[in-house]
Chain A
Amino acid sequence: MSLTVIKAGIQSSIQAAPFRGLRKLAVPSGGAADVLSLALANRLVGKPLEAAAVEVTLGPAEFRAERAMAVAVTGAPCQVAINGEDAEQHETLHLAAGDTISIGRVWAGCRTYLAISVDIAVAPVLGSQSTLIAAGFGGLDGRALADGDVIALEDGDAPPDKITTPAELQPFFGHGFVLRIVGGPESDRLALGMAALSRKRWRVSSRSSRMGLKLQGTAIDLNSAAPIRSGAVFPGIIQCPPDGMPYLIGCEGQTTGGYPRIGQVIRADRHLIGQLAPNATMLLVPVQGEQAEQIHAEKLGLWAEWLPGLALG
């Protein structure tokens, strides 16, 4: 029993929970780049919020069910079709053996999630079924999916009944993003203070992946070029390399770095990094740590009833 990858597209991979507590071994967090969209997809097929699903980058991609199952597609808006017939995102979809589901190129955002009502049968590594593509382990042979791959599935119960994500809980993705940030360990080097980050619009360059995103805009001036001793970086850290163009660390980014860390996307907004595609623009809005904590609590509160136990990191 399986799901066949007909067309993997630019990059599709099996993603589930992040690798937790392993950063001291230099193992990145990884997992779904947009944890909220993963949770919403799994909810629709009756699975735990962090169950393994297929993360599709930009699309298009296509899969064939080799058994009856329910699936759901969430994340970046795109055209979904079953055997060529239009289908909805944010809705439980029933597939019979032999049915194909296609995920079109995204209209905005970056990543879609295909959740499956039966469990994906890949062995967990270091406690997660997620794929660390750069490190080469986890998921299916530690790599992105390729055309013709067969994703083995466990036996499962009868597919769940159809449900739909309540409209007010479906995230909206456009081409512009607002990410809230706190200062980084070396923000005192910003010649113009946090305004250097907040008073400009930043554009995501094509040099972007799950590991990190190079931003384009007005080069940032630092008032010190003294070297930094390598230390921790986390997803959402904004580094300032010598060219002055910020580099935003993604979910699969390295665990330590030696460039000045001039900002940090707050935990509550980090799932949005997974939806930043090349050419997307963003505003970085500074907040205080206590405000960030409150925003995190409010965001969890908004989804608490629909997604109990949601973790944004």
Chain B
Amino acid sequence: MLLILIILLPLLGFAYLGLFGKSLKEPQPGILASALTGISFLLVLWGVLSGGASWQIKDWLPGIPFSLLLDHLSGYMGLVVTGIGFLIHVYAIGYMHGDEGFSRFFAYLNFFIAMMMTLVLAGSYPVMFIGWEGVGLASFLLIGFWYTVKKNADSARKAFITNRIGDLGFLLGMALLYGSFGTLSIPELRSAINGSYVLPMGLSLAGLLLFVGAVGKSAQVPLMVWLPDAMAGPTPVSALIHAATMVTAGVYLIARSSFLYVNLQDVSYIIALVGITTAAYGALSALGQWDIKKIVAYSTISQLGYMFLAVGVGAYWIAIFHVMTHAFYKALLFLASGSVIHSLDGEQDIRKMGGLKKYLPRTNLHGLAGALSLAGFPLLAGFWSKDAIITATLNYPFGGTGFYVAGLTVALLTAIYAMRWYALVFLGEYKGEGRPHESPAVMTVPNDVLALGAVFAGLLALPKPLWNLVEPYLAPALAHVEVHEMSLALEWGLITLSAVVALVGLYLGYAAFTRWALPKWYQTFQTWSEKAFYVDLVYNTLIVNPLKELAVLLDWLDKIFDSGYLLLASSSKWLAEQLSWVQAGYVRVYGALMALGLVVLLVWGVLR
């Protein structure tokens, strides 16, 4: 009952705001939506403190119950979703101030929270799929929130269609699992897989297909193209859906299915490869962006790549840990960006910013905390979780060192672009027009909380011999992976190394983008990076345009088929017109026809 309430409260908010929101005055819808999300957070907290819960309706589908499950993993994730979600709801009250669709926005946000909690609390894959599709829908609605601009509507469609590819993978993977084990309940599958000596054929394929679903939702290579465009939505949406929660659903799915992936070394290797590729791609693309939100968006792709790298190498708890720290600092970065955009009345080009430190002192601190945490500045949240991931790759038996070096390189790039973002926005001279003004308290206070998280959340899990609260807490819900213990000296040596890398990156980023004249080769790289290495162009040429051509062709064929039916229709219409004189409207004509019918029937009846 508690579990269904967690989902129902925001869903109720969605229904109420969707139906009657227009009659509420600003900021009532925002307060209502925030309160419901806050209550959901408290309920999750209660559930977590009381040690978990589960709830199910038998015979929801033939043989498949509707089951919800609150264990350590989903409780942890649920706290992140509703907690960060609540802060962003509050922030949005300020950000969406004066927008025509104020109540609609909060209706969608509440719908998103309800669906995300369905996804997180799902005790079986079909239930998770409902949430999976629901958050996709919410994402679609919110990206296209200002749908009167064609670009926004196009971006929404792009996100939705790209996600469809992944969702197909999810569905097929579920079907394969059901075919092999006859159940889709996560605990049952877990014991079935752990209890069987010989794994069924096609399990690798099922794992791979589920991963395809995760790739779509979490914007991994090659389905990453939708996430940068998703920035067309309002900034709180980018923070909540496209940074902190929804896009990490893929990581959550893999972690939830860790009992499966721990047995699939080949698939895990692919996951790790995709993860590190995505991390590198996102970091390289982030370097050349000029849009304040796109830098953060590509950074999100890159950080998600890190998370997949972690689950790929079997470090499931670290991935989930990174989900949380990333949720803090990335939501903070987005909301700080939103605050900047808000104060500049919609300006998003960082070439027209600079020097905002003076005008936006609070936002400046938020941006600094977020950027440093992202860059992995020593002792901040991002530093601990990212370092844990990079270190964990060394334990990976299949080319761990390669992953380590690549991960460290990407960390260097991350520090550079994080500093570039901060330096170009807040340092130097203000290059735009208009007078920037600090955002209201309703926007800065949630950022304060997020900033605290971005700075201190890492303290929950520190390397040995210091305390680590996250790993033992998550351990019962995740698959157990044997880890070769590193010596303390090596481990702390590596930590020092990554701290040095982060500091070097930060310096390089600061120096390169504020002092140095950039060399020629960098200009070329800049162009490539700004266009995200022309992936969109390639996809358009190879896939989208041929499909469009095919659609035109099919439309043409369809018209040929249609013409047959149109001919049928027009001929029957013609026939009807020829016969319509019968319906002359004159009673006497009808009477005469009736009499004729009577005569015919009479004669026929007698003759018969």
A and B assemble together: no
